[in-house]
């Protein structure tokens, strides 16, 4: 994600599998409030809960 943020690599889908888990482990809202990440950084990834959902997002991104 840092490489995407700093434009060292082109944007690719970053999918966090298991939204409940990731939202418990990392409090993204607090990270924004503390200035650790920007609100725009939150658009660099998305939560998915199944492999099927992940595949749909990948296909959508690459228009497969």
Q: How do the domains of the chain map onto residue ranges?
A: 2-62
What does each C-alpha distance from 59 to 2, 11, 40, 44, 54 come to in angstroms? 23, 15, 23, 17, 9
Tens-digit pLDDT string for the chain (64 aa): 889 989 999 999 999 999 999 999 999 999 999 999 999 999 999 999 999 999 999 999 999 7
The Cα–Cα gap between 10 and 30 comes to 27
pLDDT at 5: 87
Note whether 43 and 11 are within 8 A (CB).
no
């Amino acid at each position: 994600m840092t490489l995407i943020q700093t434009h060292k690599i082109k944007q690719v889908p970053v999918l966090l599998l298991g939204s409940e888990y990731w939202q418990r482990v990392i409090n993204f809202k607090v990270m924004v409030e503390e200035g650790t990440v920007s609100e725009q950084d939150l658009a660099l990834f998305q939560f998915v809960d199944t492999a099927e959902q992940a595949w749909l997002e990948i296909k959508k991104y690459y228009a497969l």
